[in-house]
Amino acid sequence: MYQKYQKLKTEYGDNTVKRLRYVKYDEEKKENINRYPLDEELGLKKYERIEKNLKDKYMSFMGDGKRYKDILHTTENANISERTISNIFKNADLEETDYISNKNNNKIKIPNNVLYIQIDGSFEPMRENKKRVENKIFLATMHVGIDEEKSTKTRIKMKKKKCVFQMMNKKKS
């Protein structure tokens, strides 16, 4: 049993916790196996220091079309950069968890029988295994109109907005 102090990033700031490591020798593999009970309890992977609840909070903003700065303002004490949020979105496993509401069969009541659908696509250069790859990103936004109560002069808010996106590798021809 070994002790080590580790900083975890939470919604309220950095917390220092005592992290215990248990070492067990596996005779079949002939190597030591390290086990961290705190990481297993919190659901952290190896070298991961961001709390799962904080990640889930950021992932809830994924389909909303918010800017990274707007997402940062929701948790000002977390000491997290825009690049970290970008990495959280990039490494998200969308099949495993239901971040986007397209798996749910949520029905929207349309008050004036008008549904606005906005579709956009782009090619974004990204890095994958230290190589430049161009990805196709398709974004579809559906709403029933402008929300006059929540809108300001500089920001227009949509009523009952739903967003869905899809990302694919660009095929070389």
- Phi/psi zone of residue 43: left (φ > 0), alpha (ψ -120 to 50 degrees), beta? left
- Phi/psi zone of residue 160: left (φ > 0), alpha (ψ -120 to 50 degrees), beta? left
Beta-sheet strands, E only, within 11-130 = 13-26, 31-35, 116-128
Residue 25's identity, in one-letter code, is Y
The pTM of the full predicted model, rounded to 2 decimals, is: 0.50
pLDDT tens per residue across span 6-54: 888 988 889 898 888 889 998 998 999 988 888 888 888 888 889 888 8
- Report the alpha-carbon distance of residue 55 to residue 117 in Å, rounded: 29
pLDDT tens per residue across span 43-83: 888 888 898 888 888 888 877 778 888 888 888 888 899 99
DSSP 3-state of 64? helix
DSSP 3-state of 112? coil
- Report the alpha-carbon distance of residue 139 to residue 115 in Å, rounded: 16
User: How far apart, in Å, are the Cα atoms of 135 and each of 25, 63, 86, 115, 138?
Assistant: 44, 18, 15, 29, 10
Count CA within 13 A, CB hemisphere, residue 156: 4
Report CA 47 to chain centroid distance, whole Å: 17
What is the rounded average pLDDT of the residues 84-110? 66
